[in-house]
Chain A
Amino acid sequence: MAVYVLCLVLFCVGIYAILSKRNLIKIIIGLIVAEHAVNLFFILVAYRIGGRAPIFEPPPVSIEPMVDPLPHALVLTAIVIGIATTAFMVALAMRIYEKYGTYDIARIRELRG
């Protein structure tokens, strides 16, 4: 149970960065932290006591019980998608910096009007 709470704390650190920071780069970092906290939570849900990686070996080696393979498969793709969306966010941030000369979201709002 304690690991779930620690995972929630990590998620909250990311959400706090998204909500309170004004620098775009820090917001992106917060998003990455929150995203990986969710990935970690999936892996924690998949775990079972004494479970091992769900990869079979030749007969003499028995590795029952195995952890739940489905969340692992979901997280596997989620990480790669996370990289791609992060790269996209960084590209948008770069363009915003080029146009407004600042990463501060409050100042970007001022400059527009």
Chain B
Amino acid sequence: MSAVATITDLAVSFATDAGPVRAVDGVSLDVQPGEVLAVVGESGSGKTVTAKTILGLLPATATTRGAVVLTGRDGRTTDVINVPPAQLRAARGRDVAMVFQEPSSVLNPVYTVGWQIAEGLRAHGDVSKKEARARAVEVLRTVGIPDPEHRVDHYPHQFSGGQKQRIVIAMALVLDPSLIVADEPTTALDVTVQAEILDLLRTLRDETGTAIVLITHNMGVVADLADRVAVMYQGKLVEQAPVGDLFADPQADYTKALLKAVPKIGEGRARAAERAAARTEEWKAGEPVVEADGLTITYPGRFRQPAFTAVDHVSLQIRPGEVLGLVGESGSGKTTIARAIAGLTPVSDGSLKVLGTQMRGAKGRQLKGMRPRLGFVFQDPATSFNPLLTIAECVAEPLVVHGRFASPEAARGRVDELLEAVQLPRSYGDRFPHELSGGQRQRASLARGLALDPELLIADEPTSALDVSVQARVLELFSELQRELGFACLFVSHDLAVVDLLADRIAVLYRGELVEEGIGEQVLGSPHEDYTRRLLASLPVPDPVAQAERREALRVLHAG
């Protein structure tokens, strides 16, 4: 059987404010029937552009060269790039369909999901309303939406994130295409939901024989689902191999580096144990830097809606020089706790002592003494710097506000030291935040957080917006600085592997409650709680063999 899609010497460039930019450069690929081809790469690798080209969905600012030939179930071929619009339209949905990254934005908010599924059917031939509805119900059942007869008339906002992604998959599936392009289909989802969606995709491939092009940055997802892998870097294809070979024996230097940069659970265990052994009894008896006792944070409901409890009776402690990793999925309250410790969110109930100051009901003046002893690193490096100030001015801000220096210029010497400490060239101080890459900005953010030599640093998902290779460098730097300066740290993350790498102790949050807390070996090695186990089992590991075993374990866990 011939390939369902053949890409030959594809090149794409975009018109931008800064002139033309090439996104894809001479890529050739083919997809065989029923296989899952993963296209992996970091931001800027051109993988999403390649995916969009397969459906001819590039914006008007794009210029394309090369050929993308699709072969439908009936053997018809279509060259997406050089075909009249009517024919391209006919091929879309019938020969190739797409699953997008953000399920909430790809569903039309003002139409029912049934109507939207039916639209795909109507576009490819005359179907009666009744028939279209029946098909919609059927396909919703296939993707595992409970009670599809009833749910078909619901609007997108009435479904959860994971269900929305199932509906998007249903829409792709309804015309039985020979190829589905899935662009980061699980990136916007929590890890437990991600496992379910990956399972669904696998089942569909097995049952319908549709080929899948899986675009992703996540090596765990690749190991879980892919048959074959294509690695892209800066618009070019650097390596193509069956999934087992790629992980076992990567050829290209880039692939090797990429695989090495992926954090794996268990890597930090030895280090954590060593650190734990070095702690004295005296240290254990000393006063903690952060002490939460029955900490509760509620957001008042507006307009007679009930109040929302984001954090519910959480008790935890951070001792001097200790790194506490706080893990949880979206809505678990982890960021709320971080913000409360920094005094950004008021405490509703219970007690929260930070550096000896009671945060509950504390006013600006009472926090004055504690503030210079605390640093904060934010999640999104793109927005955590004032875009109108230079990096040096931003880093100098804490020094000036707390009167260590009279002006940002006077503080420049200390700023240069700090930049050097986070391995940024001094000259970067004169740049504006948008002139730095995400990783560099996050290092500058670290420099700012450490400017006053704080006793406590709060890091709220500091690497979740970064590419994996950049993340690795930032984490390494972080760990080095922590050892050197010895600050205590609350490290918030959704990624168990990242937390494991850095933390002395790990706390797991679920819907505002603290489920489990302890050293990494115990929490991740032999978890007591069901939720922790499920969380752990849902996390795909970057190793196809090990992942297959884990998948089985997860299935058992769900069955039991």
Are chains A and B native binding partners rather than an unrelated pairing? Answer: no
Q: Which residues of B contact A (CB under 8 A)?
A: none
Q: Which residues of A contact B (CB under 8 A)?
A: none
